[in-house]
């Protein structure tokens, strides 16, 4: 069986090989998928990411969401506590600066910071995912550490909702589950949005109603 490291390597390579046309079309389709979702309509404060390494680009979505009156946030890497992220507001057009991985991030001004618990929706970059809502990321554990508090929440009310973002080819049958994995509420690709039933860990495909 393919190890996590091998799978990560294969998916990242495949992702980087997508052509510009295909990427642009997928990003446009994803924008439509997200904007017609129930979760989008109920979310005011939305954390996005700045794409790298061939990831699904959220640039188009971010512009539209801003026009729709949503407040957009981007992650900023923290030195302490290690491997954690903080989120700062981003208005399209604002200047960003590259972090140590070369990913553009906002200047960390206190007035623009939001506590993770106050976000409504977090769009999480995926390297791979399965239909149970398990995710494979870059392997550094930033999202798992930052949103570890969600693992202890029970009941219907969870904030923020973590929504994985990927190309549909990144879906695999089953990923190994780690104790620290923070479950996704759903996954959105250019083909639609799939909600994951976090409580019983099964997943239902529900492209238009989420
Ligand atoms: N767009 C985007 N932003 C993000 C993430 C992400 O996955 N995508 N992250 C999600 O966690 C965090 C950053 N995590 C990252 C983890 C590893 C690498 C990376 O490129 N690793 C290189 C080796 C880098 C080095 O050590 O110099 C590699 O694996 O090739 C980049 C970002 C926060 N921001
Ligand atoms: N809550 C936690 N407590 C302790 N260790 C953690 C926790 N969350 C993550 N980790 C560590 O972080 C690493 C994350 O590994 P994993 O391969 O699951 O990352 P990933 O989910 O693919 O990546 P990412 O979260 O960066 O997108 C693991 O080595 C694990 O030891």
ipTM value of the model? 0.91
Q: Where are the domains of the chain?
A: 4-190
Q: Which residue's CA is the nearest one to ligand 2's atom 10? A: 141
> Given its phi and psi angles, is residue 141 left (phi above 0), alpha (psi -120 to 50 degrees) or beta?
left
Q: Is 141 in the pocket of ligand 2 (CB under 6 A)?
A: yes
DSSP state of 148: G
Q: Is 87 in the pocket of ligand 1 (CB under 6 A)?
A: no
Is residue 32 marked as binding? Answer: no
Along the 210 residues of the chain, how does pLDDT read in single tens digits?
Answer: 788 999 999 999 999 999 999 999 999 999 999 999 999 999 999 999 999 999 999 999 999 999 999 999 999 999 887 889 999 999 999 999 999 999 999 999 999 999 999 999 999 999 999 988 899 999 999 999 999 999 877 665 578 999 999 999 999 999 988 888 888 999 999 999 999 865 444 444 444 444
Q: How far is the CA of 5 from the centre of ligand 1 (A)?
A: 14
Task: Choose which CATH entry (3.40.190.10, 3.40.50.10420, 3.30.930.10, 1.10.287.90) describes domain 4-190.
Answer: 3.40.50.10420
The DSSP element (H or E) to which 168 belongs, if any, is none
Nearest 5 degrees, angle CA 56-CA 17-CA 3? 85
- Structure tokens, 108: 């960390």
Could you tell me where the beta strands, DSSP code E, fall in the chain? 45-47, 71-77, 85-89, 97-98, 104-105, 113-114, 121-125, 128-129, 135-136, 161-165, 186-189, 192-197, 202-205
Q: Is 58 in the pocket of ligand 1 (CB under 6 A)?
A: no
């Amino acid at each position: 069986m393919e190890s996590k490291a091998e799978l990560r390597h294969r998916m990242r390579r495949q992702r980087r090989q997508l052509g510009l046309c295909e990427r642009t079309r997928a990003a446009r389709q994803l924008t439509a998928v997200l904007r017609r979702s129930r979760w989008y309509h109920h979310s005011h404060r939305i954390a996005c990411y700045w794409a790298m390494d061939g990831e699904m680009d959220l640039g188009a979505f971010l512009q539209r969401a801003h026009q729709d009156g949503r407040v957009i946030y981007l992650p900023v890497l923290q030195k302490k506590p290690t491997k954690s992220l903080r989120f700062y507001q981003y208005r399209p057009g604002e200047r960003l600066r590259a972090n140590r991985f070369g990913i553009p991030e906002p200047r960390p001004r206190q007035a623009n910071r939001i506590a993770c618990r106050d976000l409504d929706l977090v769009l999480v970059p995926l390297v791979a995912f399965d239909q149970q809502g398990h995710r494979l990321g870059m392997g550094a554990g930033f999202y798992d550490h930052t949103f570890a508090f969600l693992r202890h929440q029970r009941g219907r009310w969870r904030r923020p909702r973590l929504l994985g973002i990927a190309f549909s080819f990144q879906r695999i049958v089953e990923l190994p589950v780690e104790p620290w994995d923070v479950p996704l509420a759903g996954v959105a690709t250019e083909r639609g949005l799939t909600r994951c039933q976090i409580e019983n860990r099964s997943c239902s495909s529900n492209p238009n109603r989420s």
